Structure 1
Amino acid sequence: MGKELIFKTLRHEETNEIPWVPFAGVHAGKLKGYTAEEILKDSDKLAESLIEVKKLYTPDGMPVLFDLQVEAEILGCDLLWAKDNPPSVKSHPFADTNELPCKCKIPTEESGRLPIILDAMRRVKAEIGEDVALYGLICGPFTLASHLRGSNIFMDMMKNADYVKELVGFCAEVSCKMAEMYIDAGMDVIAVVDPLVSQISPRHIEKMLSDAFKAVFDFIRAKGSYSCFFVCGNATNQIEVMCKMGPDGISVDENVDLVKAKEITDRYNISIGGNIPLTTTMLHGTQEDNMKIVIDLMDSLTHRNLVISPGCDMPYDTPIENTIAASQAVKHPEKARKLLENYQSKVDDIDVTLPDYEHLDKVLIELFLLDPDQCAACTYMLNSVVDAFDEIKDIADYAVYKYTIKEDIARTRKMGIPNLPTMCVNGEIKWVSIIPDREEFISEVRKYAK
């Protein structure tokens, strides 16, 4: 049974198979013809879509929803809704104050969209919960703190560490309450999803964030449930400090070399999951591409403490046949190998022209992002430019490239961008998976002004 396979993996036991966990967040709605907004606001449509995920993709484990803005909305953030992405945060209620949120704001079962979410969780648990491990995803304390404070939090980390620690501590209390409600609604695994951890140095994590995260993982364990720590972006340097926080599992995206990361997680006896590329393979690739990446992952890694999954929340328009192909490769690897005997990879030969950086009238800031509407780390890197732009608009322009668009993928390759998100200035790579503070960013741009 798939559920027990997940449990054994998170208990770090030997298994005969590798578990498969498709992160079909808003993509679940696509399966039944619903928009992202519809399934995130309607328990009937959400539950119906999740049952279809189970039917088509034969998961061992699956998330009930992938929306990191649920808590932020409850705490006063305004959201911008989309048809093919989870909502994004468009206002930060604590951007202009160093106060802390009131304890009375900690969510209850009646808060925000929680009645819809908890209802769907209970219904899906009753329908498929005997066979599939259900994941309740909560927004991690640091990303939630950034939703409340905005991009100012990166300056706070340099100038007001005590405030950051207090704010993240409050957000950890919110995380614990969310975990409790999700566990009570039948969730087997609580995934703490915190994309922005990859943007912070291990030293700053240990100084300001670790205590809060440890408290959340300890709470989940005390409730008798399993935990996973999801981090997007290039979390290579953060893997060890993440292990020290005590989750049962870690999940990473395509920016991370899974072989090297697993060497670290194995030392701490923590499971690791990942990391089928979301756009180049799942969205734009073929069935064979998806099978090949799964087989390559399985062949390059020891199977104990391993989960195969997409690198993060699957794009809404991911072809159904691609996800089925990935599923079949996990479940039937020998058949997949047979089908791949004559496999040849194909790269779209899209010609893109780079700017003539030496002869530009203004400094050009280029942002290479996965998707600023879906990836929190991408959103905050973009916001770091937008928030400071009035101060430099006379000397600079900026351009945004999305890794969901084929032409932008080609541009990213031609530029030699190693990881996403990345920011360049006049064609030079300046910040890779790191969000600069306002002063550092403006100072660097001014160096290039004519």
Structure 2
Amino acid sequence: MGKDLILKTLRHEKVDGIPWVPFAGVHAGILKGYTAKEILVDGDKLFESLMEVNKMYTPDGMPVMFDLQIEAEIMGCELLWAEDNPPSVVAHPYSGDKVIPCKCKIPKKTDGRIPMVLDVMHRLKEEIGDQVALYGLICGPVTLASHIRGSEFFMDIIKDKEFAAQMVEFCAEVCIAMSNYYIEAGMDVIGVVDPIISQISPKAIEKLFLDSFTAVFDNIKSQGVLSSFFVCGDATIQMDVMCRTHADGISVDENVNIAEAKKITDQYGIAMGGNIPLTTVMLFGNQQDNMKYVVEMLDNISHENLIVSPGCDMPYSVPIENTIACVQAVKQTDDVREMIKNYEAVDDTIDVDLPDYDHLERPLIEAFTLDAATCAACTYMVKAALLAKEEFGDKVDVMEYKYTIKEDIARTKKMGVEHLPSLYINGELKWSSIIPSREELLAVVGPLI
């Protein structure tokens, strides 16, 4: 049974297959003709869509809700909604004055959209809970801190380490409360989703935030429930410290070489999950591309302590047949390997022209992202770039290139961008997977004005 595959893998037991977890967050809506916003605010539509995910993608495990803004919304963040993406945070209630929220701000199970999510969890548990491992996803403490504090949080890490640690400690209490609600609703796995971690140095994580993460995962473990630590972006150098948070598994996206990362998680006896590319393969590829990626991944990595999944929340418009191709590659690997043995991917890269960086009229800041609308780390990288626009106005140009747009993918490749998000100034890489503080950014841009 699929559920047993997930639970045994996260318990690091021997299994007779490779578990498959489609992160069909907002993508679930397209299966029933609903927008992203509809399934994120309407429990009946969410439930209906998730039942279709179970029917079409035969998951061993699946998330109930993939929205990292639930907690932030309750705590006063203003959200910008979209029809084909989760909402993004556009206003931060704790920017400005340095104030740690009081404990009364910790979300209650009756607040915001939590009652809707809990209801859907109960309904799914009753319908498919004996067959599929259900994941309750919560916003991780560092990402939540950046949501409620804004870009100033990254300055706090440099200028006021004690305050940054206290803010994350409070957010960890929010995580513990949310975990408890989801565990009571019958979730088999609690996923702590913290994309911003890839933007923080391992040294800072260890000194300032490790105790908070450990408290979250220890609380989950104390209740007999399994856990997974989700990260987005290039978290290669953060892998070791992430393994010391007491999580049962770690899940990474396409920025991380999963085979190399798994060597680290194997040393700690932790399960590894990931990392089918979201756009170049799942969104813009064909069935053979998806099969080829999964088969080659499985042929180059040990299957013990492994869960195959998309790199993160699947884009809304991923073709259904591409996801089904992934299922086939995981569940019928030998047959699929034979099917694609002579397949060669077609190079359909669009030709793009790069700016003449030596003859720009004004400084040009280029943010290369997965998509600031869906990736929290990318959101704050773009916001960092826009700080220069706020400071210098029309004296500087700012552009975002998204890995969800074919032309932007081609530009990203032509520029030789290795990791997302990255920030370039006048064609030169300045920050790769590390979000600059306001002072750092202005110190680089200012002399160019």
Give the TM bin, normalised by the shorter chain: over 0.9
**What does residue range 14-413 of structure 1 map to in structure 2 within 5 Å?**
14-413=14-413
SS state at 1:346 partner = coil
In structure 1, distance between residues paired with 2:409 and 2:209? 33
Amino acid at match of 1:341: K
Q: Which runs of 5+ in 2 are unaligned?
A: none
What's the CA shift string for 1:319-372, capped at 9, x where partnerless?
Answer: 000000001110000110111022101221311000001111101000111011
C-alpha separation between the residues in 2 aligned to 1:233 and 1:369? 9
Given the two structures, how large is their TM-score scaled by the length of structure 2? 0.99
Q: Which moved more, 1:175-184 or 1:378-387?
A: 378-387
- Matched-pair identity in %: 61
Task: Note the C-alpha offset of 1:393.
Answer: 2.5
Q: Gaps (5+ residues) in structure 1?
A: none
How far does the alpha carbon of each residue in 1:180-202 deviate from its partner, in whole angstroms, 9 at most, with x for none? Answer: 00011111000000000000000
1:383-417 alpha-carbon deviations (Å, 9 max, x no partner): 11223422123431111111000000000000000
Equivalent position amino acid for 1:300 in 2 = N
Distance in structure 1 (CA, Å) of the matches to 2:386 and 2:395:
14
> Does the CA-based 8 Å contact 2:386-2:398 persist in structure 1?
no
Give 1:278 deviation, angstroms.
0.2
Distance across 2 between alignment mates of 1:212 and 1:268: 20
Measured in 2, the distance between the counterparts of 1:440 and 1:203 equals 19
CA distance in 1, matches of 2:447, 2:332: 55
* Whole-Å separation in 1 of the counterparts to 2:392 and 2:58: 51
Q: Look up the equivalent residue of 1:27 and give its one-letter code.
A: H
Is contact 1:139–1:175 with CA below 8 Å preserved after alignment? yes
Deviation of 1:448 after TM superposition, in Å, equals 3.3
**Alignment partners' CA distance in 2, 1:197 and 1:148:** 16
1:435 counterpart residue number: 435
State the alpha-carbon separation in 2 of the partners of residues 237 and 100 from structure 1: 29
Amino acid at match of 1:325: A
Flag the 1:112–1:348 CA change in 2: closer, same or farther, 3 A.
same
Question: How far apart are 1:305 and its partner, in Å?
Answer: 0.5
Name the amino acid aligned to 2:130: E
Partners of 2:367 and 2:385 within 8 A in 1: no
SS at match of 1:387: helix
Q: For the Cα contact (< 8 Å) 1:392–1:442, is it kept in 2?
A: no
What displacement does 1:14 show?
Answer: 1.5
Q: Secondary structure at the match of 1:393?
A: helix
d(CA) in 1 for partners of 2:200 and 2:167?
16
Distance in 1 of aligned mates of 2:66 and 2:349: 33
1:90 is paired with a residue whose SS is strand
1:2 maps to: 2
Q: Which amino acid is 1:353 matched to?
A: D
Over aligned residues, Cα RMSD in angstroms? Answer: 0.8
Secondary structure, aligned partner of 1:272: strand
Give the Cα separation in 1 of the matches to 2:246 and 2:32: 38
> Equivalent residue of 2:429, what SS?
strand
Q: Which amino acid aligns with 1:439?
A: E
CA distance in 1, matches of 2:253, 2:266: 18
Question: Aligned AA for 2:31?
Answer: L
Partner of 2:186: helix, strand, or coil? coil
Paired AA for residue 198 in structure 1: S
Distance in 2 separating the partners of 1:388 and 1:423: 12
The CA deviation string for residues 232-255 of structure 1, in whole angstroms up to 9 with x for no partner, is 000000000000111000000000
Shift of 1:97: 1.4
